[in-house]
Amino acid sequence: MTFRLAHLSDAHIGPLPRPRAHELLGKRLTGYLNWRRRSRIHNMEVLAHIVADMRAQAPDHVAMTGDILNIGLPAEFPLASAWLETLGDAHDVSFVPGNHDAYVRSSLAHLETTFTPWTRADVHDPQTYPYLRVRGGVALIGVCSGVPTAPLLASGKLGPAQRDRLEIALAETGARGLMRVVMIHHPPNRKGATPGRGLSDAGRFEALIAAHGAELIIHGHNHRHSIAHIAGPKGPVPVVGVASASAVPGTQRHRAAWHMYEIAREGAGWRIEGRIRGMREDDETIVELGRFSL
């Protein structure tokens, strides 16, 4: 039986609600100025085409790996929730936050309450992250790398408590013979992002994977398609990044796209086939751009 997992990220939905003067103190001011400069990069019509194409492919589950918001304004959160509802029922859609969703400390309370339907574990747990959802023999493990940072930084962090819980989740789901997919916003490998944009505890994350393994790690953040690997106990673990779901300009690796994974058991392991679907270069038609095997 094949399990079909859709992955999209970095929607950066707009237009940005008009901020109040007091909401633009600190980091939000630089973020707001940056958004005014790059808002034309993220096209909501293209995003709608991406979502429609994804829904037409009828995946079994959807992973959305963060950055729905832009500068974490309170007025952005209801818009983000409404957009997530367009992806499917919350039982079939999983979300993990990015740095723009956790933009400033005052965003964190909104973050926790707004996205609960899409981060709810199968077994009730007062600790939100990491959460575990099992669908069709696939363990979907969602971790939060989005943390507030200083202006001009876009780095992420898991922290010791979340890493400890992730270690338990990887070990338990591995012992159950499940196919483990780790969903994270930041690329979790040490060379996965430029300075100031990476996961600050990537080395410790790599150590967890080296000890307990995983079958697939998916992320966003870099706004481009990429494939890397982290050493695991039974061989290299693929780390796959997806382009922004709304970005218009740029090379083929950067233009708006999403991934479809077809996952099936093969002997004692798993077969993972990926397809890249995204915006054709000459118009806004969504087509298949390529395939990859992991």
Average pLDDT rounded to a whole number, residues 268-275: 94
What's the rounded Cα separation, in Å, for the pair 186 and 157? Answer: 9
Average pLDDT rounded to a whole number, residues 111-120: 94
Kindly report the average pLDDT of the chain as a whole number: 94
Give residue 146's pLDDT: 96
Largest Cα–Cα separation, the chain: 60
- Give the percent of the chain with pLDDT over 90: 81
8 Å CB contact between 223 and 256: no
Kindly report which listed range (18-22, 84-88, 103-107) carries the lowest average pLDDT score: 18-22
pLDDT at 161 over 60: yes
Give residue 253's pLDDT: 65
Give residue 35's pLDDT: 84
Give residue 63's pLDDT: 98
- The CATH architecture assigned to 3-293 reads 4-Layer Sandwich (3.60)
Average pLDDT rounded to a whole number, residues 76-82: 97
Q: pLDDT digits over 139-148, tens only?
A: 999 999 999 9
Give residue 251's pLDDT: 57
Which of the two residues, 33 and 207, has the higher pLDDT score? 207
Which of the two residues, 279 and 223, has the higher pLDDT score? 223
Average pLDDT rounded to a whole number, residues 269-291: 90
pLDDT band for 219, please (50, 70, 90 cuts). very high
pLDDT at 204 over 80: yes
Average pLDDT rounded to a whole number, residues 190-206: 96
